Chain A
């Protein structure tokens, strides 16, 4: 069956460290993979998009990798700050279509 898996356990790290979040998928062949941030009581906010032919994408302190062989994307936040505390969702388009399928998200907590 098709699955998108993100670690359901919260990630708790010290300010200044690098946070690494994982998104694994099975039985999908996405052309794109996106990452969103969601704060409590709010809708998700787009962060980064990476294409299947891109290995890595960066934006300020954020870095995303996309390994279509491992069927995995890693999301890194360097020099993490308490304001980075939120839930991070990965999403991929199903079978090259418009439909975005979301993972259940991983909660990140950055301690000051």
Chain B
């Protein structure tokens, strides 16, 4: 596709359930980021993938959060035993390369609601 694709666009789950969020980056983009945005807040960095390098997981808020990127393309963010405070919009972004001078292309996000 032409842009970053995320699915589902909305996810409602019960507290304690596991959820998987998917991101399909722009073809050829080697860098992939996950951010979280709570209502009225800025973007909180979660995790970064670059090529075949080990991911930077420094932003993951707890060990209930994990992410993988298969084949250098599609990425899945998994949240285990969801809590109400996990409710937020989860945004995925990709960029052509790494470095602070690379612009990020974002998907429309997954709105996660934990009841």
Contact = CB atoms under 8 A, between A and B. Distances in A.
Interface of A: 4, 6, 30-32, 34, 36, 41-46, 49, 51, 89, 91-93, 96-105
Contacts of B35: 102
A46 B104 contact: yes
Interface string B48-59: 101000001000
Interface of B: 4, 31, 33, 35, 40-43, 45, 48, 50, 56, 91, 93, 98-109
A-B pairs, top 9 by smallest CB distance, nearest first, are A93-B100, A43-B106, A104-B42, A102-B43, A46-B103, A32-B100, A98-B98, A102-B42, A32-B101
Contact of B42 (A41, A98, A103): A103
A89 B50 CA distance: 24
Nearest to A92: B100
Given A43-B93, A98-B102, A100-B104, 14 more contacts: A4-B42, A43-B91, A44-B104, A46-B105, A89-B42, A93-B99, A98-B48, A98-B98, A99-B56, A100-B33, A100-B100, A102-B43, A104-B41, A105-B42
The CB with the most chain B CB atoms within 10 A, among A49, A93, A99, A100, is that of A100
A73 B107 CA distance: 26
Contacts of A96: 100
A19 B105 CA distance: 25
A99 B107 CA distance: 18
Contact of A98 (B43, B50, B107): B50
Contacts of B56: 99
Nearest to A31: B100
A55 to B, nearest CB: 17
Contacts of B91: 43-44
A4 B106 CA distance: 20
A43 B107 contact: yes
A8 B81 CA distance: 33
A41 to B, nearest CB: 7
A56 B100 CA distance: 18
Contacts of B48: 98-99
9 contacts: A31-B100, A41-B108, A42-B108, A43-B93, A43-B107, A43-B108, A51-B101, A97-B100, A100-B100
